[in-house]
Structure formats: C-alpha cells, structure tokens
Amino acid sequence: MHKASSREVPANGRSRVVIEAVRPEIDCGRFPIKRVTGEAVTVEADLLVDGHDLISAILLFRPAGQTEWFETGLREVGNDRWRGSFNVDRIGRYEYSVEAWVDHFKTWRRDLQKRLDAAQVTAADLQIGSRLVLGAQARAKGEERRRLEQWADSLATVPEPLEGARLGLADELSELMSRYPDRSCSTRYGKQLQVVVDCGRARFSTWFELFPRSTSRLAGRQGTLRDVVTELPRLARMGFDVLYLPPIHPIGKTNRKGKDNALVPAPEDVGSPWAIGSEAGGHKAIEPALGTLDDFRSLVKKARKQGIDIALDIAFQCSPDHPYTKEHPEWFHHRPDGNIQYAENPPKKYEDIFPFDFESEDWFALWEELRDVVIFWIDQGVRVFRVDNPHTKPFRFWEWLIDEVKTRQPETIFLAEAFTRPKIMYRLAKLGFTQSYTYFPWRNTAWELRQYHSRLTRHEVREFFRPNSWPNTPDILTEYLQTGGRPAFMARLVLAATLTASYGIYGPPFEVCENRPRQPGSEEYLDSEKYQIRNWEAEEHNERISDFIALVNRIRRENRALQSDWNLLFYDSDNPQLICYSKRTEDFSNVILVVVNLDPHHPQSGWIEVPAKELGIESDDPYQVHDLVSDARYLFQGPRNFVSLDPAKVPAHVFLVRKRLRSERDFEYYL
Amino acid sequence: MHKASSREVPANGRSRVVIEAVRPEIDCGRFPIKRVTGEAVTVEADLLVDGHDLISAILLFRPAGQTEWFETGLREVGNDRWRGSFNVDRIGRYEYSVEAWVDHFKTWRRDLQKRLDAAQVTAADLQIGSRLVLGAQARAKGEERRRLEQWADSLATVPEPLEGARLGLADELSELMSRYPDRSCSTRYGKQLQVVVDCGRARFSTWFELFPRSTSRLAGRQGTLRDVVTELPRLARMGFDVLYLPPIHPIGKTNRKGKDNALVPAPEDVGSPWAIGSEAGGHKAIEPALGTLDDFRSLVKKARKQGIDIALDIAFQCSPDHPYTKEHPEWFHHRPDGNIQYAENPPKKYEDIFPFDFESEDWFALWEELRDVVIFWIDQGVRVFRVDNPHTKPFRFWEWLIDEVKTRQPETIFLAEAFTRPKIMYRLAKLGFTQSYTYFPWRNTAWELRQYHSRLTRHEVREFFRPNSWPNTPDILTEYLQTGGRPAFMARLVLAATLTASYGIYGPPFEVCENRPRQPGSEEYLDSEKYQIRNWEAEEHNERISDFIALVNRIRRENRALQSDWNLLFYDSDNPQLICYSKRTEDFSNVILVVVNLDPHHPQSGWIEVPAKELGIESDDPYQVHDLVSDARYLFQGPRNFVSLDPAKVPAHVFLVRKRLRSERDFEYYL
C-alpha cells in the first residue's frame, strides 16, 4: 500500500465557515470604494458551513492605521447571503473585513426548540447547553460572568426537562450568550478592503468655470485675479461652491496659437492657458498678466469665506518655453535632430505643446516634481483640482500621485477630465480620482440618458465613479445647445443639476446662451476664450438665464434628495420627448420628481408612469406635487399622471412631492 | 512650502499598460478552472494604456512545476478586450497569465501610414523607425539579426521619404519586428491562474449504480463481488463506463436498520451499507459477505479490461461497531454520559450512524486517516469515487484531501453527492470535486430544464462545475417516475443522457421501470435495496428498457456533440410539453437536435423554432434530420418545423442533422 507521506499541518483546519463573494470589493480588493463622511458602507458576503450548524458573523471596520477593529453584526438575508453596515465619519481611509464562526449555542438553542416541539427534551440535552454556557462564562467578566454561571448551574440541575427547555430558550440567556461567543475557530476574510472617505463636497458640488483673463468689466482689458475676487459674491449668490480656473500659469510664446486656434498668432494674441511655461516660470508660477502669488492666495481665502473652493487645472504638459525644457531635457522625447518632440496625433501637430516622456530613465524624478507641483498649490490653500487629460499620462503615476497628495491633505478633490473609452475612465476613477466628467454632453434622448445614468447609479461602478455632469466646457459646445436656443440651455441645466449630485457649467457663455460654433459640425466655440480674451459682462447678449441657474442651484441646496447619486429612479412616459425620474432621501422625508421636455422647439405633453410607492405614497391616495421652478401645485393620483411642458416658458418641472394633503379631518372639531 | 518627503521608488513606474478583468478567473484566482486533456483554455483580459500608443500582448501558460512559460498571442476583440487561447494536453495542473507592453514599433508603423496618407513623411520619421529596428536587431540572433540591421540601415539612408514609407510599412519588417519586441517595460498580470486538467472521462462518463449484494441471479441469495464480475459484459454492451458501488465495507450490527428503514431489524436483515464498520473492519475492509480484497482487485481489473471504471462510495461516517470508535474515540462527539453522539437532525435520530467531529483537537490525524482511506483504494486500482454527503464535512478538509490524492494520482475523479443549496454545491465544485450531482431530478418542465441547464452551461459556473445528471438514485424515486410509467423513464433517460455529457442511473430498478414508492409522497423506493437484498434478474417485471438504454448510450458514444456540456442551445416551441435543444461540435461536423415530449401520458405535437444557422445550415436550404432512435428521416426547412411525439412509442427524437442532401447534381452525368 502507498503510505501517504507526512505533510505540513494546514492552518485553521477547524475553521469550518467559508466566506465568499464579499461586496463591495473592487477588482478583488485592488482598489478602494468611495464614500463621504456620514455615509454608510453596506457590506454583503456569502457565508457557508458544512452540515446543519448555525453561523454567527460580524462586520469589522476601522479607520486605517488603527489597530483595533470596531465590530457590528451581520444578519442573514437569504440564499446564504449576509449583510451589515457601518458609518464612516472621518475623512481618510477606512478598512473593513468579515469574520464568521459556527455558533454552537445558537445551534443548540434551535435544536432545543425542535426537541421541545417533539417532546424529546432530556437532561443530557440541558447538560450540553450548560457546558456551552460555562464556556461563555469563562470569557465573560464581572456581573455577567456571575449571571452566566447561574444560568449554567440552573440548566445542569433543573429537575424538570420542560422547565429546563424554558430556561434554555430564554431571550435573556440568548442575549447574554451572544456577547461572549466562542470565536476560537472563527474564519476571518483574507482581505482588508478599503474605503476612501472624502469630504461632503466630493459628492455634492456645483462648479463654475471661467477664464480669469475674461473677467474685466471693461471692454478690451485683460481681467486679473483681483477681478475674479469681485465676481465672487455674484457666484456665491448663484449657488456655486467650486470656481474652476483654467491654467493660471505663464503662457509660452514659441509656436503660440492665435485667435480661433490660428497657427500664426497676431502680436497681441494672448495664447492658450494650456501652453504652460515661459521665462516667467512654469507650473508653480502665475502668469504675470493675471497677478501675483499673493493675489492668488488672497483669492483662495476670500472665496472660501463665501463658501467657494478655487479649483486649479492640472495640465502636465509644457510650452517650448517652459523652464523644464532647459533644466530637465531628459523628461522629454527627442527627435533625431536633438529637438524636443512636440505633441502630435498624426497627421495633427501641436507644436506649442511638449508632452512629458513618462518612459524617461529619470521617470521617478519627474513623478516627484509633478507631485510637488500639486503640493505647492495645496500649500497655497487649494483643495480642488481639475486634471486635464489624465488618460494621456500613466495610470500608475496618478495612483501614486493622488495617494501621496491625499496622505498629506486628505480633503483634496481631483476631477478627471478624461473624455475617452469607458474602461479607461473607470480605471482612473478606481485608482483615485474623486470625480469624473461623463458622457452626459452627448446623451440627449430620454433613452440614452436613462441607459447611461442607470449604468452609473445601479452598477458596481457607483462604488468608485462619481459623475460630474457638464452641459458645456470650453471644448464642448454640443449640437443640442447650438441649435436649441435658450430652452436647450435650460433643459440641459436642469438635467445636469438633478441627474447627478455634482455638475458644472463653463459659466459665462452658458449664462448668456452663447451658441455660435467656430464652424458648422464643430463643437468649438467661435471666438473661443481658449485663444483670446472676452469681456462677457461688457458684451451685448440677447439672453441671460442667470436667475434660472440661481433658482436651480437653490433647489439643489434645499433638497437633500438632489445631493446624492445612488437614489436615481427613472420612469416611463408615453411621450419619448419627456424624461421623468425621481430622487429621494432614504427616509422619504425629501422626494423630488423631475420631468424635462427634451424637445427645445415644441410644447410636449403626455402621461408619466410613476409607482406612487416609490415616492413614499401609500395606495391610491392623491398627493400634491409642488413645482419648485414655477411654484405651481398639482394634484397627482395613482401611477399615471399627465404633464405638459412648453419650452418657450420653462422646459422642466422639478416637483417636490408632498404626501400629506389637508382635509376636513384636520379641523379641530372633526373628531 | 511643504516639501514632500522622499519615499521609496515604486516598482515598474515605466510599465504603462494595466491589465484588468482577466477571465476565466474564479474568486480572484483562489480556485482553478477545469478542463480535460485536449481542450482549449480561452483567456480574455482588458488591456489599457494611457495615450494613443498601441499595445502588444501575450498569453503565458505552462504545466505547473515547469519554470519556462509557453507564449501565444492575444488579439484585440473590441472595447479594450483581448483574447487568446491555449490547449492543455497533460493531466495535472497548468498555470496561465497575461503580459502586455506598449509596442513602439507598431505605434510608429500606424502613425507612418497616417503621415503617408497626409503626405507628411519626413526623413526624421524614418530615422525614428530605424532606431526602433536597431533596438530589435540587438535582441535578435543569426540571420534575422542581419536582416534587421539591413532594414535599419535602409530606413536611415533611403533618399526618398515615399520609398522610405513603403519600406517602413513592409509586412516582412512588421513580421520580423513582432518576433523581437521590447518587453523591458512590460506589465505582467500579478496572478498565475490555475487549470486542473483531468482525463476525458471527467467530462464524458456514463454511470451505472448497483448494489453488489443484489446481483445474484438466484432468488434469496446474497450477491458477491464475483457476481458483479458476471454482470460486466452486459453493462459494457449497454454502454456504461463507470460502475458505481455503494459502500462495500463491513456493515455494523448495533442499531442496524431493518427493511424499509425499520427501527427494529429482523435477525436476517442485512443492514444499510452506509452504516460502515464492524468487528470485520472499517473503511479499508470489505464486507465478508461480498468477498475478499482479492475479489475486489480482480473485479477492478476485469472491469477495466471492458472499459469500465469501478467507482467506490466515500461515506465518512461510522457504525457504532467501527474500529475507530474504540481506537480513536477522540474523533467523535461525546454525550454528557460519555457515549459517542449519534447523528441527528432533531427531532430525527440516526442511532446507527456516528459522524466524525471535525472540530476534534486531533483533527489533523483524522484528516490524514481519511485521506489514507482514499489512498488505500487508489492503491487497489480505484480511480473514481462518489462522495456521500460531502457538504456535511468541512470544505477545507475536502480541498486538502482532493489535492493530496490528485497529487499522487491526478487521474482520480471525485463525484460530489451534495443535494443542498446552490452556493454550497458550487463551493464543493470549486474546491476540487470533479463532477457534481445536480437538481436535474426535480427539473421537470421545459422552462425549469431550460433555466437550470442554461445557468450551468452559459455562466462562469461551467468553468468549475461539471454536472452529472441522475434521473434516479437509491434515495430518489421522483414523482415524475412514480406516475409516468415507461414513457417517463425513457424521457428522463434521454434528457439526462443528452443535456449533460455525464449522466448515471441507479440501474437495475431503472431498467425495469420500478416506480413503487415506500409510501405516497415519499421519494424512497418500496423494498429499498438500502436495507435489503433484491434479486433483480430473478424477479418478475412487466417492463424492461435495457435495449433503449443501450441505444441511447450508443448514440452518445458515436456523436461527439453529446460529449460536451458547453455547447447546449435551447429553442422555443409553441407547445410547452415539447423541449428542444441542440448540441454540436465546434466545427459543425457533428450536430444533434433533441426534442422530448415531457408529457408521459399523451401524444404532443407542435412547432419548434430552430435558427438553421445554429445547426450549421446556411440560408433556407432544406436539410435532413435523421432520428437516431427510430431511424426515421425527415426534411426540415427554415426556422419553424413541426414535430409530433407519442410517448406510448418513444417520447423523444434524437436527430442527427445532415446538411448535405443528395440531388440530381450528384449524378455523374449532370455536369
């Protein structure tokens, strides 16, 4: 006979519970999930054990760096699935894991009930229970230890089995035993999963983008950071809490682009802010025409006082005049003639831009320098960054940089501007970007919006990808906005502001419904601020929707339901031009129902199908919907209700759902 | 300014490609996938890189223990997904992983084409290409090294850019360069994923279960292992290749069960074979009434000569008379009175069975002993085991045991008899069981069968869970069989034999359509062999479907399409009593279409909807279906065809699809 050779003893051979399919868990735990302070993390796991024994299980969690775990119970929800949750209240990282064990007391108690039902309880059964209680007694302390000893004694000595069963099944004993379980053979899930906890603004934020050089109220003059300061009260009143500035660094002269991206600039042309670096400095300097570092620090402080964060643009690329090109030529690609390689996407050339060579032998010095750029602005008080084209720099680099920065300043918010393929956008979000631009600008029909936003809010993606919806940017004037006039701007504003908790507008042209493209078929603005100074306040404009924007932002601020992404539910309409969805707080104390007419040219009406229960309305009671835009109130009843929206007036309803209607019963003498 | 502290340099900072979502990968690589020799492993991964550069990637694979990897290409299939595959030809374990890198030559070549299209090729562009070719030249050897040097030289010196572009785009250069890629900054997937490769029988097997003690052809006599030998030729002719015997070990006397599970046995009662152990020995011994170890070895050898594997039953539990109870009382639970605890599921007691205590302090000695039981039978030539109730012993124990056994004898097949909740069944399959019993006995309607078998064959589950369908077992006489008579047995046989590549019957009662339950509502057989001897050949029976069974098994043997599980496709029928599905080889050289009438009482007819393309038929050509059961042939055309099945005759069609119809064009003189 083949005699088996002796082997190493496997660890934990007596740990019989296995833990599977723990969720949330991103890419096998490679990446953290995201939350903001005050939110809950709900964790599920499959817990399996051989045989008929019962399991007890806990969810473990702690702020990262803390050695002790907090514990909270997991309860079974069916099909061997267990669930529990904990709240995160500190900015930074948390860890969570799961532990489970065979609970012999719970098993004994269940069996005791069955024996009692079958009139089979014996003294031996009670003695077995007594032994288990004694085990817990040894783990307990003080008064509870004494009480457990009494219970063990009673079970072992009770003369009458029926009376013993009553003792064994007592809730008090059960409660006491649950506090001193035997975890000697417990199973711990092998991974400590991570949560990145951000400040509340990471989830709910309202962005306004402007070019500081276009903020002068005098036609033809260059605006400065001081002019931006004068804009602050107006922006605060309009309800914005993040003011994002395109790069404010010195702009290169070599190969500078002229107006409307002309290859040959006029002498007075100011260049693109994204062509960073001149003899005045690079990524840590400020364009002299905009002001000084002191001006900038002052702007950051004054903005914060009005509840506004200044967001800087991180664009890791250089103009040919950037100091790095001389100090660190090894950080760039070189052409065979020895010159630095400009950016290109053949056959297009971008000769005013040098990309970094992240495959440089000196790559880590480059990484450190770029991190120090961010740290430099953190030290000036900046907490929010919009990152330009992160998908053109290595993923590993960003993961490292964001971790380095958030280790120093965990409140930092990074918005990824990566308009690229979905898996790349998701990867950037997973590796650490706090928020992400989305495909929202190109989702125009009800079906497209519903598909896309359902994907973002109902799928695992929501654990790490926080959408930030922008109806326009300096690069994106959509065809819908070009052709839809004022109603299109209003509709897209309401959609951006209510579909996602964070949204932003490239503000000055949006306020005046600027819709002229550089040429037909292009999404570029005519007379784009990217290449020239505008004076929005000095120019003539036929339209201005600033008050409407302020109203929508006020509705967002006053209705908590609009401050989360996960609570979005779509509803059917018999008119495909009408999109309908709700958002609500978990306790239904705030319920918002939105209907938008997507056709900017014609009034549209139709029936919407909203299960009243999803709005917190029981049965067929009538309920009131209060349009926070028009202040009109309507009575709805049942699942089908009629709406009609004229885009020439306002293309959207933002209803606050009011459950309780006054009736004669509210009169004091009714009863 | 906050100066960032210096940190450790991250590894692989220049490896820009990231690898995600590698499939198949079971539970983050915790468990292997399964294949049999000759099968392919198709691997997919998401490969992402920053910017516009192109990626090259390979699939790595090797038999476990080998240090060198084999390599094969991965190609992009859209949406950043890449795919490749390799074949496994050795029994044992394989490993696989993925490697990917930025391919600068491929990128350069793509850009060169764009430059050529825009008439922008310059000498500098060709010099950059020449540099890349020189890099490959340094990695190449011999003749290819010389050829690469020539290419580099030509590119660097060609006087005419257009001619240079032609050189740079040459297929020969591209092919040569692809053999010497620059993998210095490549990314290797962090995990080495595992494949367990089994022998072919692990996938395709035909099981027959019988009780050796019931094989005597003389009424009232106990059958022996020698009687089993005389059954072999008949079983081989019927097409069975695994003969599974319930436990053949000595049967305990204490608390022995009588006929039909009676608590008090008659003196002549033989007891349940699952009450293992008496003074004659335990799990390594043979019940003296059945014969000797020599008889058993002889049976194994003679069976193998006829293409039949003997499968033993692994039932890790003891009768009160088992030698372990005295030699190793520490391996059992004890009651307060010091006696060993019998099995129970309150209020039911199984006093003839002692379960092991896997939480024993001496657990590892127990594990080793149980492993040695299996090794003992391996040493007698056994290669197939049916494991009784594996879900009542710890998961970790089985994973260890199966690994230990397969390390010694990789051909070993373990069939898990775990009729329990789905996640537990899947866990057992993941941790190593080769095949698994399924819920097939209780899936009776077309909808149920379609849902269940689609789940098993289209989901990730198929990577580790190999179904083995049993229409009956000694514990399971389904209501469908009890009430449906001969047609029910025939229908369930065809379903089991064609839905899954492995199936089995508890044979003697199945052959004679035995359908009498112990009592109404029970799935137990009346006069069950579990507690008494039967003499099937000596008894009178009205029905016998042995020839039909033999025919179905011959169809399985002769049609490769029926020897796999993954190729199952279901079709709609307008009559819910008709279930319709196909199986085919990948190259369509063998295509089987099955239609079963699930109603055992009435003829049923209707239209089935089979997209001809899924049978390998182009367009609307008529095609022939040849019923391998009745030998009748029919012409089908288009997606809808009519079928009619009378259960009183045969309740199923098993069509061989013949694409090519003879026509006048086949006549020699037609052309």
Is B665 within 8 Å of chain A by CB?
A: no
Is A383 within 8 Å of chain B by CB?
A: no
Q: Name the residue of chain B whose CA is nearest to A122's CA.
A: B336
Average pLDDT rounded to a whole number, residues B144-148: 97
Is A363 within 8 Å of chain B by CB?
A: yes
Is A406 within 8 Å of chain B by CB?
A: no
Average pLDDT rounded to a whole number, residues B488-505: 98
Q: Which two tokens stand for residue B219?
A: 């009424």
Which run of H or of E encompasses A342?
none
Residues A570 and A450: beta-carbon distance below 8 Å: yes
Average pLDDT rounded to a whole number, residues A530-552: 93
Average pLDDT rounded to a whole number, residues A36-45: 98
How big is the A-B interface in CB pairs under 8 Å?
A: 174
Q: What is the DSSP string of B106-175?
A: HHHHHHHHHHHHTT---HHHHHHHHHHHHHHHHH--HHHHHHHHHHHHHHHH-S-HHHHHHHHT-HHHHH
Residue B394 has pLDDT above 70, yes or no: yes
Residue B493's pLDDT band, with cuts at 50, 70 and 90, is very high
With tokens 């011999």, the residue in question is: B142
> Could you tell me which of B179, B170, B185, B168 has the C-alpha nearest to residue B137?
B179
CA distance A375 to B478: 72
pTM: 0.95
Residue A434 burial by CB count (10 A; 0-12/13-18/19+): exposed, middle or buried?
buried
Q: What is the mean pLDDT of chain B?
A: 95
Q: Do A1 and B375 touch (CB under 8 A)?
A: yes
Residue B3's pLDDT band, with cuts at 50, 70 and 90, is very low
Residue B306 has pLDDT above 60, yes or no: yes
Q: What distance lies between CA A352 and its chain's CA centroid?
A: 35
Taking contacts as CB-CB distances below 8 angstroms, the residues of chain A near B127 are 336
Per-residue model confidence as pLDDT tens digits over A588-617: 999 999 999 999 999 999 999 999 999 999
Q: For residue A2, what pLDDT is reported? A: 41
Which candidate from B1, B7, B378 shows the least CB-CB separation from A2?
B378
CA atoms within 13 A on the CB side of B39: 25
> Could you tell me which of B526, B506, B529 has the C-alpha nearest to residue B518?
B526
Peptide bond into A347 cis (omega under 30): yes
- Three-class SS state of A238: coil
Per-residue model confidence as pLDDT tens digits over A207-216: 999 999 999 9
Q: Do A12 and B396 touch (CB under 8 A)?
A: yes
Residue A112 burial by CB count (10 A; 0-12/13-18/19+): exposed, middle or buried?
buried
Residues B652 and B491: beta-carbon distance below 8 Å: yes
Residues B440 and B470: beta-carbon distance below 8 Å: yes
Residues A490 and A650: beta-carbon distance below 8 Å: yes
Which candidate from B29, B347, B421 shows the least CB-CB separation from A120?
B347
CA distance B463 to B457: 9
Q: Do A2 and B363 touch (CB under 8 A)?
A: no
Q: Do B111 and A346 touch (CB under 8 A)?
A: yes
Q: What is the DSSP string of A423-437?
A: HHHHHHHHHT-SEEE
Which candidate from B10, B15, B120 shows the least CB-CB separation from A400?
B10
Is A11 within 8 Å of chain B by CB?
A: no
Q: Which of residues 174-203 of B touch A (CB under 8 A)?
A: 185
Return the amino acid letter for B174.
S
A158-161: long-range pairs with CB below 8 Å, 24+: A158/A126, A161/A121, A161/A122, A161/A123, A161/A125, A161/A126
Active site amino acids of B: 388, 417
Is B453 within 8 Å of chain A by CB?
A: no
Alpha-carbon gap: B449 to the closest alpha carbon of chain A (Å): 21
Average pLDDT rounded to a whole number, residues A121-137: 97
Q: Which of residues 310-339 of B touch A (CB under 8 A)?
A: 335-337
Torsion-angle region of residue B584: left (phi > 0), alpha (psi -120 to 50) or beta? beta
Residues B434 and B201: beta-carbon distance below 8 Å: no
Alpha-carbon gap: B396 to the closest alpha carbon of chain A (Å): 7
Q: Do A20 and B423 touch (CB under 8 A)?
A: yes
Count of C-beta atoms within a 10 Å radius of residue A502: 26
Q: What distance lies between CA A627 and its chain's CA centroid?
A: 27
Per-residue model confidence as pLDDT tens digits over A369-405: 999 999 999 999 999 999 999 999 999 999 999 999 9
Is A342 within 8 Å of chain B by CB?
A: no
Which candidate from A6, A347, A359 shows the least CB-CB separation from B120?
A347
- For B421, residues 6+ apart whose C-beta sits below 8 A from its C-beta are A79, A80
Q: Do B408 and A51 touch (CB under 8 A)?
A: no
**Helices B123-139 and B104-117, packing angle to 10 deg:** 160
Is A403 within 8 Å of chain B by CB?
A: no
Residue B220's pLDDT band, with cuts at 50, 70 and 90, is confident
Residue from A39, A99, A287, A388 carrying the catalytic annotation: A388
Residue B593 has pLDDT above 60, yes or no: yes
> Could you tell me which of B344, B434, B427 has the C-alpha nearest to residue B386?
B434
> Could you tell me which of A490, A508, A506 has the C-alpha nearest to residue A498?
A490
Q: For residue B2, what pLDDT is reported? A: 41
Q: For residue A659, what pLDDT is reported? A: 80
Measured CA distances, A321 to A165, A213, A267, A363 (Å): 87, 21, 17, 21
Is A448 within 8 Å of chain B by CB?
A: no
Q: For residue A537, what pLDDT is reported? A: 83
Q: How far apart are the first and last CA of chain B?
A: 92
Q: Do A379 and B80 touch (CB under 8 A)?
A: no
Q: For residue A1, what pLDDT is reported? A: 38
Beta bridge partners of B436: B416, B467
Is A78 within 8 Å of chain B by CB?
A: no
Q: For residue B12, what pLDDT is reported? A: 82
Return the amino acid letter for B460.
E
Q: For residue A220, what pLDDT is reported? A: 82
Average pLDDT rounded to a whole number, residues B137-163: 96
Q: Has A417 been annotated as catalytic?
A: yes
- Three-class SS state of B58: strand
Is B128 within 8 Å of chain A by CB?
A: yes
Is B348 within 8 Å of chain A by CB?
A: no
Q: Name the residue of chain A whose CA is nearest to B8's CA.
A: A364
Taking contacts as CB-CB distances below 8 angstroms, the residues of chain B near A397 are 13
Which candidate from B27, B115, B423 shows the least CB-CB separation from A80?
B423
CA distance A213 to A231: 12
Q: Which of residues 645-664 of A touch B (CB under 8 A)?
A: none
Taking contacts as CB-CB distances below 8 angstroms, the residues of chain A near B375 are 1-4
Is A76 within 8 Å of chain B by CB?
A: no
Q: What is the ipTM score, two decimals?
A: 0.94
Residue B665 has pLDDT above 70, yes or no: no
Q: Which of residues 464-483 of B touch A (CB under 8 A)?
A: none
What percentage of chain A carries pLDDT values higher than 90? 92
Q: For residue A4, what pLDDT is reported? A: 44
Polymer length of chain B: 671
CA distance A517 to A355: 28
Q: For residue A8, what pLDDT is reported? A: 72
A506-509: long-range pairs with CB below 8 Å, 24+: A506/A209, A506/A210, A506/A470, A506/A472, A506/A473, A506/A474, A507/A208, A507/A209, A507/A210, A507/A235, A507/A240, A508/A210, A508/A214, A508/A534, A508/A536, A509/A472, A509/A477, A509/A536
Residues B35 and B88: beta-carbon distance below 8 Å: yes
Alpha-carbon gap: A82 to the closest alpha carbon of chain B (Å): 13
Polymer length of chain A: 671
Average pLDDT rounded to a whole number, residues B257-262: 93
Taking contacts as CB-CB distances below 8 angstroms, the residues of chain A near B12 are 396
